[in-house]
Chain A
Amino acid sequence: MSSLTGTGRLARLALRRDRIRLGIWVLGTPLIGYALAESVAGLYPDEQTRVGYAETVIGSVVARAFNGPIASTDLGAVVVTETYLTLALLAALLSTFAVIRHTRQNEETGRAELLGAAPVGRYALLTAALVVVVGANVAAAALLALALVGSGLSVAGSVAAAAAIGGVGVAFTGLAAVAAQLSVTSRGANALAAVTVGVAFLLRAAGDVLGERAPGAIRLDSAWPTWLSPLGWGTQVRAFGAQRWWVLALPAALLVAGIAVAYLLAERRDVGAGLLAARRGPARAAAGLLSPAGLTWRLQRGALLGWAVAVAVLGLCMGVAGHEIDAMIAENPQAAEAIAQLGGGAELVDAYLAAMLGLFALTIGAYVVQALLRTRADESDGILEALLATAVSRTRWLGTQVLGAVLGALALVLLAGVTTGFGYGLVAGDPIGWTVELAGAAALRLPALLVVAGVVTALFGALPRWSVALSWTVLIAFLLLGQLGAVLELPQAALNLSPYTHVPSVPAADVAVLPLVTLTGVAVALLALGLVTFGRRDTPR
């Protein structure tokens, strides 16, 4: 028996288990690419508008940090700058989660032990996971290339751009293979890999912010930190400019290195063990833990802290970047129009800040969903059964979960307002005044987040088996309605389905009380529905 015996069968098993996830990934990537390419082509139809766009990117620290560099004034280059980070982050995260699902999670649940007892080679599980994930990246990239060619971009550029994005996925496949060997839990491995993605993002952002205009061309040359980031490599291919195909060797090399290290680590450890040792805990519980609220805080605080750090860093960056807005209006009316569309209102700086707070509120919706879906995880794991067999009522337990998620969301949204306001105040003057104003404006987003909490709670109560899939679907629908609704010219009735549509766009617009009261009312009704249906149904169900 070789150390790879059974790899083919295990790969087919992984494909079977993930056929829906992988299908969405492989088909969704070209669809998103095509849709974004079409909309960008509509926004920048001629050379003049594209030069304006390129000059804005080269001149704006914000654009460089969040979009990356631009390779030329070709339409394809604009498309890449606008879509690259979205698709690359998707590829990075999906690859990471898929590798860990099929390696460390299998070990954690004991499935690997069961498989290991069958005639299966030592490296078969890891190899099968890598084959499937690299295969998914290649397939998604191939379809993305076709989609870009289909939208009218040059063949060579489309292939290079798609390969660059596939390369990001491949690079993170290698990193995830190592992470899966280090941590004992799939949660830990996912966290480790997510931190790697975050660091890669920051390095690339730093490199692009420090980058310089290329002499004699409309192009931004990134600085050295970009080269340290697998996310940055894709931009350095310069798909629609002077192509550098050799850069694609970097992700391939990282994959090979990752596999080598992972095999080496797999060779040296036992099944189920990791290299990062499990820590011990206290023999007695602190008094603060001994209630449903204490338990909720204990289970949520780590995630909340991570969110808080990310929100604070982003808020400061967004705020500091606010002073560039005035410069942007002069150079690019389209960008100004786009911001006005997102934020609404007259003063462009206000519109920008309102748009940023709106984005924060949408993102923090993901925190609410994630925090509240713990209820379903507890029910599936049997933890809920043991809890409800104590003297804790259903209403108290679920109410505590909702309260925890809502308070967490309030803290995060306030933090977003405070850091954005403080950052803007630092460059524009009056940091305290701006901090207070934007904290207030941010707090007005809470009713929309309450509705998100209400939706998840109602789904958990009434449709528990569907609650996970439906909750995320609803949040993504809100996101798409908010971000693409106006671009796609959807009817107002459709836009009204999202609670975020109804939040007054403060500071760009005035505070309107009625929509806030209505949203809160809807949220309360949904929460009540969730509590009542949960109080009356079987558990586990």
Chain B
Amino acid sequence: MSVISIDNLVKTFGGVRALDGLDLRVEPGEVHGFLGPNGAGKSTTIRILLGLLRRDSGQVRVLDGDPWRDAVALHRRLAYVPGDVNLWPNLSGGEAIDLFGALRGGLDEGRRDELLRRFELDPTKKCRTYSKGNRQKVAIVAAFASDVELYVLDEPTSGLDPLMEAVFQEEVRRLTGAGASVLLSSHVLAEVEALCDRVSIIREGRVVESGTLAELRHLARTTVTVETVRPLTGVAQLPGVHEVRTVDGRVRLEVEPAHLDTLLGHLVRFQVRALTSAPPTLEELFLRHYGDTVESSTSVGGGR
């Protein structure tokens, strides 16, 4: 049974369709990456999962409960780190951590102290004096020190430095090692590649791609660089081959996985001297889905 299951979720704000038939599955014990640019609907989805927003239509189950109706019961079993952490300016960081923990139903004292040490957070400072990164650490410590089944993390590391990022990744692995599930919304693709078992890419309120990184790569084009003894001809006409360029006597091209075999059969006739093939990076996968948005915004900028 899935930890989170969303089918055909729709949410509108006024006339704007923020979520437009979104589907999402998070399975027990996995870290699920939730990718998409600002405004794609990530935070709206998370707020519906937390029972903060009501859905207009569609099915949503969290830990086999209804996120709106069973909010209080579910919140004892999950912990949330918001992307933009705001705290009470006159409470100390330690007080805020204890408060969140207590309101959620208690936290592990040993873990709390260990996390404070690992994240190098001074709990005696007043929240108003914390930087963005330190406010995020408060929310992360409060969430990770709670022993729950599901962690919902909305861009949790956007203010952390690389050292703290490494600590964060270790701590997430520790959570899943203990059997918990994690929904991780993030812009940091390296973090997603390092942590996530499966990834969903969201665009304009819809999930456009979902699967393990290997599966996504399988769907995407592979980049092939080849050097042949005789001049290579006729590749551009092959099915599934794109973006053929000649660089320093070598040919670079992209090929769809289904047509890799045909391409290789063609290449051997020109006596292959060197051949490398690289699976697409997550960044390339991500940009492929947003390529036209990037392009259109560039052309708008250029037209001014």
Binding site for B on A (CB under 8 A): 184-185, 187, 278-285, 289-292, 295, 298-299, 381-383, 385-393, 536-540
What are 12 A-B contacts with C-beta separation under 8 Å? Answer: A282-B95, A284-B95, A285-B95, A289-B99, A290-B98, A290-B99, A290-B102, A382-B86, A385-B82, A386-B139, A389-B75, A390-B100
How far is the CB of A199 from the nearest CB of chain B, in Å?
A: 24
The answer to whether B98 touches A538, judged by C-beta atoms less than 8 angstroms apart, is no
- The answer for the CA separation of A392 and B95 in the assembled complex, in Å, is 17
Chain A residue with minimal CB distance to B102? A290
Determine whether B125 belongs to the interface, using a CB cutoff of 8 Å to chain A: yes
Q: Is the CB of A391 within 8 A of B91?
A: no
Interface segment, one of B47-55, B155-163, B183-191: B47-55
Q: Judge whether B52 and A389 touch: CB under 8 Å.
A: yes
Interface string of B38-72 (1 = CB under 8 A from A): 00000000010011111000000000000000011
**Interface assignment of B126: CB less than 8 Å from any CB of chain A:** yes
A289 to B105, CA, bound (A): 14
Smallest CB separation, B76 vs chain A (Å): 5
How far is A291 from B124 in the complex, measured between Cα atoms in Å? 20
Return the 3 tightest CB-CB contacts between A and B, nearest first: A281-B92, A285-B98, A290-B102
Give residues of chain B (89-130) contacting chain A, Cβ–Cβ below 8 Å. Answer: 89-95, 97-100, 102-105, 123-126, 128-129
Interface centre among A185, A283, A536, by most chain B C-beta atoms within 10 angstroms, is A283
Q: Mask for B137-148, Cβ within 8 A of A = 1, else 0?
A: 001000000000
**B34: Cβ under 8 A from any A Cβ:** no
**B contact set with A: CB distance below 8 Å:** 47, 50-54, 71-73, 75-76, 80, 82, 84-95, 97-100, 102-105, 123-126, 128-129, 139, 152
B92 & A280 in contact (Cβ 8 Å cutoff): yes
Q: Is the CB of A282 within 8 A of B104?
A: no
- The answer to whether A385 and B95 have CB atoms under 8 Å apart is no
In the complex, what residue of chain B is closest to A298 when comparing beta carbons?
B91
B52 touches A388 (CB 8 A): yes
* Most chain B CB neighbours (cut-off 10 Å) among A282, A390, A392: A390
Closest Cβ–Cβ distance, residue A42 to chain B (whole Å):
49
Q: Is the CB of B92 within 8 A of A539?
A: no
18 other contacts beyond A278-B126, A391-B105, with CB at 8 A cut-off?
A280-B125, A281-B125, A283-B123, A284-B123, A285-B91, A285-B97, A290-B99, A291-B102, A298-B91, A386-B85, A389-B82, A390-B104, A391-B72, A391-B104, A393-B71, A539-B52, A539-B53, A540-B52
Contact A538 B54 (CB under 8 A): yes
Q: Which residues of B contact A388 (CB under 8 A)?
A: 50-52, 71
Q: What is the chain B residue whose CB lies nearest that of A187?
A: B89
What are the residues of chain B within 8 A of A291 when measuring CB–CB?
102-103
Partner of A282, one of B47, B54, B124, B152: B124
Chain B residues with Cβ below 8 Å from A289 are 91, 95, 98-99
A contact residues around B54 at 8 Å (CB): 536-538
Asked whether A282 lies within 8 Å of B128 as measured between CB atoms, the reply is no
**What residues of chain B lie closer than 8 Å to A298, measured between beta carbons?**
91
Chain B residue nearest to A393 (CB atoms) is B72
Q: Are B103 and A382 in contact (CB under 8 A)?
A: no
Whether the pair B92, A389 counts as a contact (CB closer than 8 A) is no
Q: Which of A381, A392, A536 contacts B86 (CB 8 A)?
A: A381
Contact B103 A387 (CB under 8 A): yes
Query: Is B128's CB under 8 angstroms from A386's CB?
Result: no
Complexed CA–CA distance, A284 and B97 (Å): 8
Q: Which of B86, B93, B94, B139 has the most A CB atoms < 10 Å from its CB?
A: B86
A536–B104 alpha-carbon span in the complex (Å) = 22
Instruction: Determine the distance from Cα of A379 to Cα of B93 in the docked complex, in whole angstroms.
Output: 20
The answer to whether B75 and A285 touch across the interface, beta carbons within 8 angstroms, is no
Contact for A383 among B50, B51, B75, B88, CB less than 8 A? B88
B109 to chain A, nearest CB (A): 10
CB <8 Å contact, A299 and B125: no
Cβ contact within 8 Å between A390 and B103: yes
| B82: chain A residues within 8 A (beta carbon) | 382, 385-386, 389
How far does the Cβ of B140 sit from chain A's closest Cβ, in whole Å?
12
List A contacts of B152 (CB < 8 A).
389
Name the distance in Å between B135's Cβ and chain A's nearest Cβ: 11
Q: Which of B47, B88, B126 contacts A279 (CB 8 A)?
A: B126
- Contact between A285 and B50, CB atoms less than 8 A apart: no
Cβ–Cβ contact A391 & B75, under 8 A: yes
Question: CB distance B103 to A392 under 8 Å?
Answer: yes
Complex Cα distance, B123 from A144, in Å, reads 53
Name the distance in Å between B252's Cβ and chain A's nearest Cβ.
42
B77 and chain A: residue at smallest CB distance: A391
CB distance from B299 to the nearest CB of A (A): 29
- How many angstroms between the C-alpha atoms of A532 and B88 in the bound complex? 26
Residue of A nearest to B87 (CB): A383
The answer to whether B86 and A184 touch across the interface, beta carbons within 8 angstroms, is no
Complex Cα spacing A382 to B80, Å: 13
Q: Which residue of A lies closest to B76 (CB)?
A: A391
Give bound CA distance, A382 to B87, whole Å: 8
Q: Is the CB of B94 within 8 A of A278?
A: no
CA of A521 to CA of B75 in the docked complex: distance in angstroms?
34
- Judge whether B129 and A382 touch: CB under 8 Å: no
Q: Nearest Cβ in chain A — how far from B96, in angstroms? A: 8
